Every structure is written in C-alpha cells, then in structure tokens.
Structure 1
Amino acid sequence: MMMAFGIGAASLLLLLVIVRWQTCALVVREYRIEAGVDKRVTLVQLSDLHGRTRYWGRSLEQAVRDAKADVLCVTGDLASNGRQFPRVLKLLEHLPCRHKLFVPGNYEVEESRWLRKRRLTDPEAQERLDEAGKAMEVLVNRGVLLDLEGTRLYVYGFDNSIYGREAWTEDPSAGRKADATILLAHSPSVIARVESLGLTYKLLLAGHTHGGQIRLFGRTFGAYRHFHCGMKEQRLAQWFHISPGLGTVKIPIRWRCRPEVTVFRLVPAGARGE
C-alpha cells in the first residue's frame, strides 16, 4: 500500500514538473523569408506576455540578444493587470534592440484579477499606452518607415484592441518606398480587414490566440480553432504568423504549446544559408 502511494505521488510530482516545464520553458523558433532586401534583416516577435517576465532555460533578454534583432515587434497584451504592468515595461525597456514597436491588445483596454475582469476607463487605457510609449514606439493605426543601414522597412500597426478599431490611415502606396512591408496587429481577425483593403505585405504578425494554450493532437481548440498557429503562406510570398505567445490567461498552464520568441530572418531573394 505504502509503495503504491509512493509511486503515485512520484508520478504526480513528475507530471507537475512536466506541466511547469511546458508552461515556463522558453522556445525560440526561427523562420527564413526571402524578401526584396539587399542584406539580412532580423525581426523578433513577442506577444501576449500577460505579466510573465521569467522563463526556464533562458531569459527574454538573452533570446533577443542571441537573435541580434534589428526590429522588435510586440503584438499586445503586456499584462493582465496593473500590478504586473511596471515589471513588464522595465523588462521591455532593457531588451537589446534599437527599434521596438508595439501594438495594443485587448488587455491594454481591460484587466483581470482572479476571475474578475473589468474594462479600463479611457484615461486609464491612455495612461497605459503613454507608459508603453516610454519603452517602445506605439503604433495605433499608423505606420513608420525604418531605415536599417540602407534597407527600408515599412511597418504598420493596427489597433484591434477592440474589434472594429483597426483602420488603415495611410496612403495605399505608403509601403512602395520600402524594400518590405510588415503589418502588426494583436488579433488574427485583422486578416479580414487586410484582405478587404487589398493590402500587400511580406509579413503579417499577430497573437491573441495563445495557440489555444493547451493543444491536443496538434490542434487549437476553443474560440480561435479556425486560425492556424505559427506560420502560413496566406498569399504567394505573403506570410501570416500567429504567435502562441508567452504568458497565460484563465488557467496558468500550457500544454504542447510552450512560450515562444519568434525570429524572422528577411534575406535577399535567392540567398543561400544565412
């Protein structure tokens, strides 16, 4: 009886360790994309931190440093509540990257503590964006043209912190001055807006779904099961990436969907290797 109890307790402990590892062990995933650039440009996407700043194996700072990021793209949901917010901003402020761009998610206009959720007032939400703007450049339905030592990237950020807020405010030809166009949004639902506008891009980055957070048989379940997780060629040479994110909501665990830092290497067409 005692032996059976000991085996059962050990199995439970092992399971808890595995679940914790799945939830906290950071993975870095890389994609190589041919683009109209003269030399390699590296983008790093972080999404849906929800207040988490520490991971097993390596830190976010080390992951960004190892990637040698030219542009850091943060696609929303920095913190689940106001108490976590300063800690996340401090981390982002110290990440080693010259160009840091941010688009707001739904947790930039709401917060939750335990199972209670509330909508932020407009002044509260604006204060959060103003604070985020001290660590990153905030893109709310606007674009920015980056000159990376001769390579020009046009990055446009949609505000879909609330569905229906996403809008294109630039001239349709805004991206023609760039070697590649990157679109950022929090929710992948923005794809409907992008397609209705007929926008062309090299890379569209979103998050929000957490990849389901708990994945079974390689599938996303729940409200966003119709969206893919990871990279998909949406149109010929137009890539749509949905990040599984870094943090958790509702339940504090991940399964077969580890927290991810995603690295995109834009390379000249026909380039071989790195």
Structure 2
Amino acid sequence: LYRLSTTAVGISFMLFVVTLIYDLMITTSRQLPFDHQRREAIKWAFDVTMLTAAAAYLLRGFVEGAKPPVLNEVSVTIPDFPEDGFTIIQLSDVHVGHTIRRSFMQSIVARVNALQPGLVVITGDLFDRTAARIAEDLEPLRGIIAPTYFVTGNHEYFRGVTPALEMLRSLGVIPLTNQHRQIVLTQGRFNLLGVNDLVGAGFGVEPFDIDAAYEGLDASLPTVVLSHQPKSIHYFEEQRCDLMLSGHTHGGQIFPFGLLVKLDQPYVAGLYQHNVAQQIFVSRGTGYWGPPIRVLAPSEISKITIRNR
C-alpha cells in the first residue's frame, strides 16, 4: 500500500509537470497568426509530442529509480589536512523501512568495503520506520570495516530518535550528537564534528546545538562537519568548518522538483564553495523517499577524497 500510494503521488507530480508545459505551449501557439487548419495541425503535433515526452519522462523515472546508486567521486582541497588522498565515504538519505530493506543495505555495505575508505559517514535520514521494525534491515551496517559516524536527519525524529541512536551504537556506528572527535592519522589529526538536525528543537529531544558541538574543539586543526540540512551551514560561518557534508535534498529526486528545493535550501547537490574558507558537499542521497522514482538526480554513494595540495 505504501509503495502504491507514494508511486501514485510521484506519477501525479510528473503528469502535472507535463500538463503545465503542454498548457503553456498551447497558450503560446494561440497567439501565433495561423489559420484554423494550421492551428489544428500544430495542436496535433503538440499532442503527439507531449504524449511521447510524458511516456519517456515516466519511463526514465522508474528506470533511474530502480538502478543501484552510482559512485560519485569528489576531490576536495583542504590545504592543512594531515594526509593527502584521505577518503571518506558518505551515505545519506537511505530511508530504510518501507521498500528499502536488508538486501539493499547488504549491497551498499559490500560496495563501501570494496572502496577501502578511511572513514564512513552517514548524514541522516537512515530510518524511515521505527528502529524496532527495521532492526534486521540495518544489521549489515555491523559489517562496515571502517570507523562509521552518523548524524541525525529529520526522519529520525519522526520515527523515534532515541531508540534509533541506541540501535546504531549497538551496530558499531558512532552517533555524533552535537559532538566532535579528533581523528588520528599517521601524519596528524583532524576534527570530525557532527550536529543534530535542525528539526530537533521542535521535538524537544536531541536539538541542534552548535555551541555544545564546538566546546573544547582545537580550532587549529582542519575540521569536517556533518550536518543533515545544507542550510545549516549559515550557523557555521564564524566557526572552523573547512568542509561540511550534508544530504536532505535528494538532489531534487524528480526533476524539476530541485527548483522548489532551492526555495528552502541554498545548495541542492554537489560541491560548492560557500565562502573563502568553507566548502560544502551535498549528497543526492543513497536511497529514495516515497516513490521509487528519480529523474536527473541519480542516487549515489559519495567518495570524497581530501587533498592537501
């Protein structure tokens, strides 16, 4: 029922987009100085074109939604980072629960391990049901070979954030709840800092608290920040934050929904230079939310390689 209802919503959105474009084209054609016969021929051509486009649009959405996540390789320069070529694998917005289950997680973990990362981070919205209902589906996380860190997304609060965090700890995943850790490498150290999602304040549990996260932090060290929503970067402009890793947007998931995402979030997908000192990378998400449909926003496993020169 969930898959059926969410798929219907996705198809409805896509048909709305096609209908809107069709209406704009017809309205424009009526302004052209053509006779009735010519106008009817143009309308027929529009009808055929838009029906074909609608079918292709829907087909692409389902085909792209069914594909496994692509590997998105990104190079980021942090001049004083202690190790050139250090790799972080980022997973985000997996939305385990209704249609994304254990087999998907097994395949993701196998691919992550094959990349031999120095670190794995999960930037929120891992849960789409309560922790108790998807315990078996999340079990493969125990098999990740690299240290793995997690920050909350908005969906963790919808499904019960406290048991979600407890479950992750039992699987060997380390939640950073307004906390930071110093990651020790062979040639030096860097800070890994994580904050709770912005919606936490509204739930009265595990709120966003940047002051707590930075308490005692050595600002002389390069700092990588995990924060679910890209718009949270504005809170970090006065702090040491060389690179923020975020998700939440799904890259729009179904084009042109990304244009609406821009109304709420400053960045939608990819790597951006926020200011002179700060960069932000936004994942398109490893799973999907709602309908199993994606258009021009493929799901991804993000491989971030940090360069210091």
Assess same fold via TM > 0.5.
Answer: yes
Q: Distance in 2 between matches of 1:240 and 1:41?
A: 17
Amino acid at match of 2:149: L
What's the offset of the Cα at 1:95? 2.2
- Matched residue SS, 2:260: coil
What residue in structure 1 maps to residue 204 of structure 2? none
Q: What letter is aligned with 1:49?
A: V
Q: State which of 144, 154, 179 in structure 1 corresponds to 2:181.
A: 144
**Structure 2 partner of 1:220:** 259
Cα distance change on mapping 1:211 and 1:38 into 2, 3 Å: closer
Specify the alignment match of 1:65 in structure 2: 113
* 1:29-78 alpha-carbon deviations (Å, 9 max, x no partner): 111122222432111110010013556xx931243123221111101111
- Is it true that 1:176 corresponds to 2:219 in the alignment? yes
Tell me the equivalent position of 1:153.
190
Render the CA deviation track for 1:203-255: whole Å, top value 9, x for unaligned: 10111111111123x94334546433111011225210111112222333111
3-state secondary structure, aligned to 2:120: strand
Aligned residue number for residue 285 of structure 2: 245
Higher-Rg member (1/2): 2
TM-aligned CA deviation for residue 22 of structure 1? 1.0
Matching residue of 1:206? 246
Are the aligned partners of 1:24 and 1:258 in contact in 2 as well (CA < 8 Å)?
A: no
Change (3 A) 1:84 1:188: farther
- Counterpart Cα distance in 1 of 2:271 and 2:137: 26
1:49 to 70, 94, 97: 94
Change (3 A) 1:141 1:252: same
Which structure is higher in helix share?
2
2:236 aligned partner: 194
Q: Paired residue for 1:235?
A: 275
1:84, distance to aligned residue in structure 2 (A): 5.6
> How far, CA to CA, are the matches of 1:16 and 1:219 in structure 2?
17
CA RMSD of the aligned region, Å?
2.7
Partners of 1:243 and 1:262 within 8 A in 2: yes
Do residues 109 (structure 1) and 109 (structure 2) align?
no
> How far 1:91 moved relative to its partner?
2.4
With normalisation by structure 2, the TM-score equals 0.69
- In structure 1, the gaps of 5 or more residues are 1-7, 112-119, 270-274
Q: Are 1:75 and 2:123 matched, yes or no?
A: yes
CA distance, structure 2, for counterparts of residue 48 and residue 183 of structure 1: 17
C-alpha distance in 2, partners of 1:228/1:20?
21
Shift of residue 181, structure 1, vs aligned partner: 0.7
Query: Using a 3 Å threshold, how does the CA distance of structure 1 residues 87 and 185 change in structure 2: closer, same or farther?
Result: farther
Question: Using the alignment, how far apart are the partners of 1:226 and 1:268 within structure 2?
Answer: 27
Question: Would the aligned equivalents of 2:195 and 2:213 in 1 still touch at CA under 8 Å?
Answer: no
Aligned AA (2:273) = E
Residue 40 (structure 2) aligns with: none
Partner of 2:45: none
Quote the sequence identity (%): 22
CA contact (8 A) 1:104 1:161 kept: no
Query: What SS does the aligned partner of 1:43 have?
Result: strand
Tell whether the 8 Å contact from 1:39 to 1:151 is kept in structure 2 after alignment: no
The whole-number CA distance in structure 1 between the counterparts of 2:303 and 2:72 is: 6
Instruction: Check 1:155–1:94 CA distance in 2 against 1; reply closer, same or farther (3 A cut).
Output: same
Whose strand fraction is larger, Structure 1's or Structure 2's? 1
Q: Is the 8 A contact 1:213 1:255 kept in 2?
A: yes
